[in-house]
Chains A and B, each alone.
Chain A
């Protein structure tokens, strides 16, 4: 899918440009990620910019994963939210570069993940520049903290979870399974 734009239906009211943009950010703070409904699209860091282009709003979105099946749904929900708030017309511009990273998840988003029972991602910075080490030579990674009881006695059950962005773990103290948002 190449960068594309979609037009929302409604027309703008008499707001000043600045307050229209501020209200748009507030409206999008209520749009939840369909796959991880604990987070809004703003918490997730995929809304890169909102600006005025002509008489409409332009919302710049960066997809999380190449194959994320929620991308099109998120686009529609973003336009719907702006429409419902009377802030349209609006367009969505998909911007691939720079690539989305879990480092863009806000501090508030990390707390929400934790409260929802998903261990938040650690920093990505070094992860992508390190050479890969395969199973025979790899040091055991530091155990994640259980988002329910904070114990560090946890183990990984599966490298992938209900979505590509998560892995599945288990706490050896409270015995609850939990998901982890993988750093990427």
Chain B
């Protein structure tokens, strides 16, 4: 039986909306998993790999669902391993290299805070499968945010060295958060059909929660730069190709390989 070597999905707005979420979970999970065996202490090694595991579980559920939304149908593995770079729809923020521990905790806080708000608003989705995935994932995003944000506060309000690193991480990461709230026709369609909220509608709540974390950390968000990333549109940073070469290697080298 001939196996597909490459998978291309259609541009239906509902499907694209789900893929943005699925791919964001998948790629952040990959970045967090790179800490396995490398964290500063064993407890944090375990924490990051557990959070990565939740995220990959969420990505699997979403990709399985996305694979059934179009025609032809695909399974989760085909979508995770056989798409081309431009067909991934994750936000650019999650594909940046893993950075140091402070950078990782700040990025995890930013994304978990966003996802928690999004999962919450997806609970009444008109798509029952998406609503069911969200019901579970909301509880997980909550403790991801709790764990990572506690570190942002401890490190931001810590030693001069930890403060310096957290401030540098914030300057580097903040410009990429604008992409979360750049809404387009896909968001509009999702809001009108009852699939889910426009991502831009989550911005006030996200900024408020980030403020509750950054203030006690002694950190201030940098000024607007005008920089805009566009991973959600399939236009990725130079890091994405390296992620995919690692992520897709086995399926590309041994098509259909399983154990």
Contact = CB atoms under 8 A, between A and B. Distances in A.
Interface residues of B, number: 40
Contacts of B143: 159, 182, 184
Contacts of B129: 2, 96
Contact of A67 (B43, B55, B147, B154): B55
B57 A159 contact: no
Contacts of A164: 50, 53-54
Nearest to A67: B57
Contact of B64 (A1, A128, A182): A1
Interface string B4-17: 00000000000000
A97 B149 contact: no
Contacts of B133: 66, 96
B153 A99 contact: no
Contacts, number: 92
Nearest to A132: B146
Interface stretch (B89-97, B134-142, B192-200, B231-239): B134-142
B65 A67 contact: no
Contacts of B212: 134
A161 B142 CA distance: 18
Interface in A101-118: none
A157 interface: yes
Q: Is the interface of A mostly helix, strand, loop or mixed?
A: loop
A135 interface: yes
Contact of A96 (B47, B76, B135, B139): B135
B145 A67 contact: no
Nearest to A183: B139
A97 to B, nearest CB: 4
Interface string A163-179: 11000100000000000
Interface in B59-86: 60-61, 64-65, 68, 76
Interface in A51-97: 63, 65-69, 96-97
Contacts of A14: none
B131 interface: yes
Contact of B76 (A1, A128, A157): A1
Which one of A2, A69, A134, A157 has the greatest number of beta carbons of chain B within 10 Å? A134
Nearest to B154: A135
Contact of A135 (B43, B139, B150): B150
A96 B61 contact: yes
A67 B136 CA distance: 11
Contacts of A67: 53-58
Contact of A68 (B57, B76, B213): B57
Contact of B150 (A65, A97, A134, A182): A134
Contact of A159 (B60, B64, B147, B216): B147
Contacts of A137: 216
Contacts of A181: none
A1 B61 CA distance: 5
A70 B191 CA distance: 36
Nearest to A157: B43
A66 B137 contact: yes
A134 B153 contact: yes
The 7 tightest CB contacts between A and B, nearest first, are A67-B57, A66-B57, A96-B132, A97-B132, A67-B53, A158-B43, A136-B216
17 contacts: A1-B61, A2-B61, A2-B64, A2-B129, A65-B54, A65-B57, A67-B54, A67-B56, A96-B61, A96-B135, A97-B132, A100-B136, A134-B212, A135-B154, A136-B153, A158-B47, A184-B139
Interface of A: 1-2, 63, 65-69, 96-100, 128, 132, 134-137, 157-161, 163-164, 168, 182, 184
